[in-house]
Structure 1
Amino acid sequence: MKHMVHSVAAAVTISITGLVGSAAPAQAYQVDCAILLCLAGGWPASAPCAHARAVFIRRITPWPIEPPLQIWRCPMGASFNESTPLSPMKRLDDIVFRDQPLIQQETAPLPLVRVQADDQADIDISGDAFSFVRSIRIYHIQFSQRQIPDGDCDRSDSTRLGSYRLQGDYHWTRSNVAQVPAASQLTIPNGCESYVFRSVFVDWRDHAGNYDSEEVHY
């Protein structure tokens, strides 16, 4: 619910700078601002959060596999003229929830994000308040095994891990199925029974530390 996001907003303090215009610049606020707020609040029930979560999951649905949160597309270092001064996170919260028609809905395809995204948040997010951003992990699982005629077991594991660095920049590293969280539906049989598993698994923790995950098979 919106009041739940407001309570999270009060805890996640963002240093938004001085006022830089009227309502027109609100067009710059992308769906990633909603993803940021809704993820922090545990995806409370609301139309903006439902849309934000759908975009979050669509981005990891092959192909391509993009960063589910592209925090560099949420201009947290800007704000808007208000007759009454608002707390920093409240300004961003109001843009997402009060001015819903101004949220960019991604009706036109945005440029694809590189595998390694060097872009970062436009403010300092290195503090504990933004640990929930760095908790996001994306496992691109590609595993197969089969017994070959000479009796050996032929296994292939091309699993890789996408994660966020200190300031929200995104990168991929090599991983393996042993590192995939138990919440995934990956179930490698004992022995060398023929088995193929391909999916993109994403998990995260909200601002309160609650765990959640999604998995997309292909």
Structure 2
Amino acid sequence: MRHLFKKLLPSVAVALTVTSSLLPMPARAQTYPIDCAILLCLSGGWPASVPCARARAEFIRRITPWPVEPPLQIWRCPMGASFETAPAPNSSDRIFEAFFQYNSTGLRQSYPARDTADPIAAAWRTSEAPDYLVPAEQALRLVQDRADIDISGPEFNFVQSIRVFDVRYARQHESGRDGDCNRSATVVLGTYGTQGDFAWQRSSITALPAAHAGLERWGQNCPSIYHQSVFVDWRDYEGNYGFEQVNY
């Protein structure tokens, strides 16, 4: 499986580049689902190519406030769409297949289904409470659907490795009266389940990865700090570590 990814990734990237360059400008963005590109390019460690550069830009745009979105929306990559009567047993083949399955009526895409039976989830989908926020009374909440094929195998571990830390605010300062150090923070963590489902849960400053920058002096004496950021990290198919941070 590993050799298959390494062998096919460059050729797919080149093919996408050529396809895009030969099409009229309005049609270029519709030649393949961006989330299929994110899935493939992330697994390969973001190789240098025009499609992967665009995929990474979209991956980062989604975590740039506001709102903070799942950076990979795997339910929008139609890996289950196939003209075959029997699905291919190799899951990685479906990723490559999804790049090129389009027709005159548009791309076949999988969209998340809304769970209208959950009154709490339904209430939080109103305009007063955007879907990306975490309700105070819910430690863990599913916010999107999942992949349309089974991705629980080890070849898709790179999907489950993605973590999104939303440091909505972290404040540290001395009290004006008694000189005590006041600290407060709100941090939430977004993670992916075994089928690519994305959910938020409460987290903390101490859970931030070592690569995160801006809160190194948190808890040391009482320097004045006010920090907001979104930090995403992942491991590619080979296990190599990568991250991005957006401060705001």
TM-score by shorter chain over 0.5: yes
In structure 2, which of residues 149, 171, 175 is the aligned counterpart of residue 144 of structure 1?
171
In structure 2, which of residues 198, 212, 233 is the aligned counterpart of residue 184 of structure 1?
212
Secondary structure of 1:158's counterpart equals strand
Aligned-residue offset at 1:92: 3.8
In structure 2, which of residues 15, 37, 53 is the aligned counterpart of residue 34 of structure 1?
37
* Partner residue in 1 for 2:111: none
Aligned-residue offset at 1:49: 0.4
* Partner Cα distance (1:143, 1:36) in 2: 32
Show structure 1 runs of 4+ deviating over 4 A: none
Contact kept in structure 2, 1:205 and 1:211, CA below 8 Å: yes
In structure 2, which of residues 67, 70, 73 is the aligned counterpart of residue 70 of structure 1?
73
* RMSD of aligned Cα (Å): 2.9
Structure showing greater relative contact order (alpha-carbon pairs closer than 8 Å, 6 or more residues apart): 1
* Partner residue in 1 for 2:6: 4
Contact kept in structure 2, 1:29 and 1:74, CA below 8 Å: no
Matching of residue 160 in structure 1 with residue 188 in structure 2: yes
Decide which moves more: 188-197 or 36-45: 188-197
* Partner residue in 2 for 1:198: 228
Which amino acid in structure 2 is aligned with residue 145 of structure 1?
A: Q
* Partner residue in 2 for 1:46: 49
- For structure 2, the 5+ residue unaligned runs are 12-29, 108-124, 133-141
Aligned-residue offset at 1:188: 3.5
* Partner Cα distance (1:5, 1:198) in 2: 40
* Partner Cα distance (2:62, 2:182) in 1: 32
- For structure 1, the 5+ residue unaligned runs are 10-26, 105-111
Percentage of matched positions with identical amino acids = 52
Relative to 1, partners in 2 of residues 1:74 and 1:117: Cα closer, same or farther, differing over 3 Å? same
* Partner residue in 2 for 1:23: none
* Partner Cα distance (2:68, 2:94) in 1: 31
Total equivalences in the alignment? 185
TM-score normalised to structure 2 length: 0.67
* Partner Cα distance (2:239, 2:10) in 1: 12
* Partner Cα distance (1:211, 1:31) in 2: 22
